[in-house]
Amino acid sequence: LEHPHIVPVHSLGVDSNGFPLYVMKRVEGVSWKQAIKLPALLPKHFRNDNDPQSLSAHLEIFERVCSAVHFAHTRGILHLDIKPSNVMLGSHGEVLLVDWGIAVSTRDEDRGDVPVARDLLSPCGTPGYMAPEMAALQHEHIGPATDIYQLAATLHYALTLKSRNHGKDLYDLLHRCVQGGPYDYDDSVHPDLAEGYATAIAASSTLPTGPPPPP
């Protein structure tokens, strides 16, 4: 996937022991999650003295991540683990969506080259950002909307400093992932952002409430 906001892989192969290896671009900077939690870590390129909360910077970063995800979708690829810690920010304004280790294809013709979504055997990704259809492992619903849900959950973290999904243990957390549903923001979140979040969440499949598979 050759895109300005996707970390490039330069070479693939196997080492002397037969294990797979790859050579990728060296990324220097901080994760978006670090910059959200500690604004002082936000690269100077994104800082704006007129925006002390850095909302405009986070929206700019979010827009670039959306661009990367959209490009991947045009190639039939789902990331499946979109979250602030998987976005790297460089000192010169670089924004890179990284960690494509569990990415899958939505096209059966890609089977054998990359994993295919319908072959997933268990929920994967990060539960705090996981879409309902992934937590329930409903293969027929896993698609671009699954990533869009995670984009919304990522924006949610940037706005609230909290993960979208919470639970007292992994089983409870996955159950809450399956439930999905809207989120009521207080007045600190602009109505347009709240509406955008709701639209992205609604893009993901609406599944019946019920217990997810055992963890």
d(CA 75, CA 83): 21
Better-predicted residue by pLDDT, 6 or 213: 6
H or E segment at 21? Answer: strand 20-24
> What pLDDT, in 10s, does the model give residues 95-106?
999 999 899 999
Q: Is 81 a catalytic residue?
A: yes
d(CA 20, CA 67): 29
Its sign, for the CA torsion 24, 11, 3, 131, is negative
Identify the pLDDT of residue 179: 80
User: What's the token pair of residue 98?
Assistant: 């990284």
Task: Write down the catalytic residue from 15, 49, 51, 81.
Answer: 81
Cα atoms in the 13 Å half-sphere on the side-chain side of 137? 14
H helices of 82-169, in order, are: 132-135, 144-160
Identify the pLDDT of residue 172: 86
Please, are residues 137 and 123 in contact by the beta-carbon 8 Å criterion? yes
Summarize the confidence of residues 150-170 as an average pLDDT.
90
Identify the pLDDT of residue 205: 58
> What pLDDT, in 10s, does the model give residues 161-209?
998 888 888 888 888 888 877 788 888 888 888 888 888 887 775 554 4
d(CA 177, CA 164): 9
d(CA 62, CA 51): 16
| φ, ψ (nearest 5 deg) of residue 117 | -55, -40
Summarize the confidence of residues 139-144 as an average pLDDT.
91
> What pLDDT, in 10s, does the model give residues 39-76?
999 999 888 877 767 889 999 999 999 999 999 999 99
